[in-house]
Amino acid sequence: MILFTLFLLTANTIDFSVDPITYRSALIVEDTIMNTSTRTGILYLEFNCEIPYHELSYDVIDSILTARASIAFKLSNLHKPDSFVDTLWRQFTIQTFKQAAQAQIAFIVQFGLHVPDGDYEYTVDISSGDKQGTVLDTVSLSLDDFSMSDILLARQIAFDTIGSYLRKGNLQVVPHASHIFNDRFTHLFVYYELYDLVLDTNAINVTYTITADDGTVKSTLVQKLTKQYSSQAVNAGMSIEKLQAGDYTLKIEVDDPGFEDKRIRETSFGIIRTDSVAISYTNMPYYDKIEYFVSAKDYRAFLKLPEEGKRIFLDKLWSTLDYEQIASRFEYADEHFFQGTKAGSETARGRIYIRYGEPDERDKSFIEYQESKPYEHWQYFNGDQFIFVDIQGTSEYTLVWSNVPGETNQPTLYKYLPEALRDLVD
């Protein structure tokens, strides 16, 4: 007998990433009598939150899978009695859980504020349904260090002609706050800004270097920039398709003939590959819906386990089952077999569909004689058969007969079957 004694994770925890990026900025202040002033010695601290879709709680609203979330934010100066508190409310939607899993959807929430130099502590709390997660960290800012902004790693950078969300100038820059890239990503994109440029005819040389954690240089790219503005945004992309799984550092060195020293910024990122990690679907939709795949005794024992014990049990079980296939069965059942307020996956037809899959033949019939009721006869090529009957005529189908050992047989209801099926079940 296995004893589960650890209690490390709970299914109610939201795991998300926060990436703070600092830019130099000018702040225009307008008073009550329309006097304006501009303050240039200030920084803009931007927070990019990345929330994987499966970390949120969903409801069906107007036939759409919808997750509502609150994002509570607090920024505190560690040496002064200054703090900023705010709460954002967001609503996210997906088409289906299967589509979201295949597309690896992650929702981005971006917000920021102007701040002076200083050392800060920030807290980001996200709540969705009965799930909650927190990120707590610190950031130190000095205006003297900002002849170049931080590096924003992005999953996509594209020209934006419609003024969409995540816009920077004429670009839509989609942050990748986790800094973890898997097989879906072939390129790493970066966005950053340069300040105090001397507008002469000399070109700027930028060197991008990717170094592995053992110090080995894996990739180098050189870019020439023409000076157009005293403050200038820059974006670039580098191939990461051939990088092995591991941890890396991206260094950007900006050599400007009009600037005495090189401007240098670094950021870290990671690569994971499907052949180097064990894929876990913990917290995925339907992940704990295992009642149809274990015995009643084992399911009762599972329900009594502590949360970490349940996680271990589920990880072992799903290592033997095809999660995506079964999740798609749940979705189909919920969509096609619902009965009133009862979810389709909780009905007799839904249970059989989820456990055994799509029947190879499905015969449907309506009333043939006075006692006969609407029925469905499901057959599988391996010989398994199931007959469901709508006893009340309300589209609530009951499993009346099956030739699968352990499945339901209700002889008292055979009278509602047409004669051809009576011959089969007798």
Residue 367 pLDDT more than 60? no
Per the model's pLDDT, the better-predicted residue between 161 and 100 turns out to be: 100
Average pLDDT, the chain: 86
| In-domain check, residue 191 | yes
Lowest mean pLDDT among 17-21, 39-43, 74-78, 421-425: 39-43
The domain that contains 272 carries what CATH number?
2.60.40.2550
pLDDT bin (cut points 50, 70, 90) of residue 36 is: low
Cα–Cα separations (whole angstroms), residue 94 to 53, 54, 56, 67, 353: 8, 10, 11, 9, 23
Check pLDDT > 90 for residue 127.
yes
pTM beyond 0.85: the answer is no
Q: Out of 109, 142, 175, pick the residue that ends a domain.
A: 142
Residue 351 domain-assigned?
no
In this prediction, residue 421 carries a pLDDT of 83
Residue 86 has pLDDT above 80, yes or no: yes
Which tens digits make up the pLDDT trace of 147-179? 999 999 999 898 877 777 888 988 999 999 999
Residues 108 and 209 in one domain: no
400 burial (CB, 10 Å; 0-12 / 13-18 / 19+) is buried
| Average of per-residue pLDDT across 372-388 | 89
Share of the chain above pLDDT 70, in %: 90
Query: pLDDT exceeding 90 applies to what percent of the chain?
Result: 49
Q: Is residue 282 predicted with pLDDT exceeding 70?
A: no
pLDDT in tens, 222-235: 999 999 998 999 99
Among 124, 142, 160, which residue terminates a domain?
Answer: 142
Residues spanned by the domain of 98: 12-142
- Mean pLDDT (whole number) for 368-379: 75
Residues 306-331 have a mean pLDDT of 86
pLDDT tens-digit readout, 395-415: 889 999 999 998 989 998 888
* Same-domain check for residues 180 and 80: no
- 355 or 260, greater pLDDT: 355
* Rg, C-alpha atoms of the chain: 29
Task: Let me know if residue 60 belongs to a domain.
Answer: yes
Size (the chain), residues: 426
Report how far apart, in Å, the C-alpha atoms of 48 and of each of 45, 110, 179 are. 10, 5, 11
Higher pLDDT, 104 or 217: 217
* Enclosing H/E stretch for 422: helix 419-425
Question: What is the number of domains present in the chain?
Answer: 3
| Mean pLDDT calculated for residue range 100-105 | 81
Residue 3 inside a domain? The answer is: no
Q: What is the pLDDT of residues 240-254, one digit of tens each?
A: 988 999 999 999 999
Residue with tokens 């499907």: 274
User: What pLDDT shows up at residue 10?
Assistant: 39
Q: What pLDDT is attached to residue 5?
A: 30
Answer yes or no: is 5 within a domain: no
Which of 287, 305, 329 terminates a domain? The answer is 287
Are 57 and 171 part of one and the same domain?
no
Distance of alpha carbon 424 from alpha carbon 426, whole angstroms = 6
Bridge partner residues of 58 (DSSP): 67
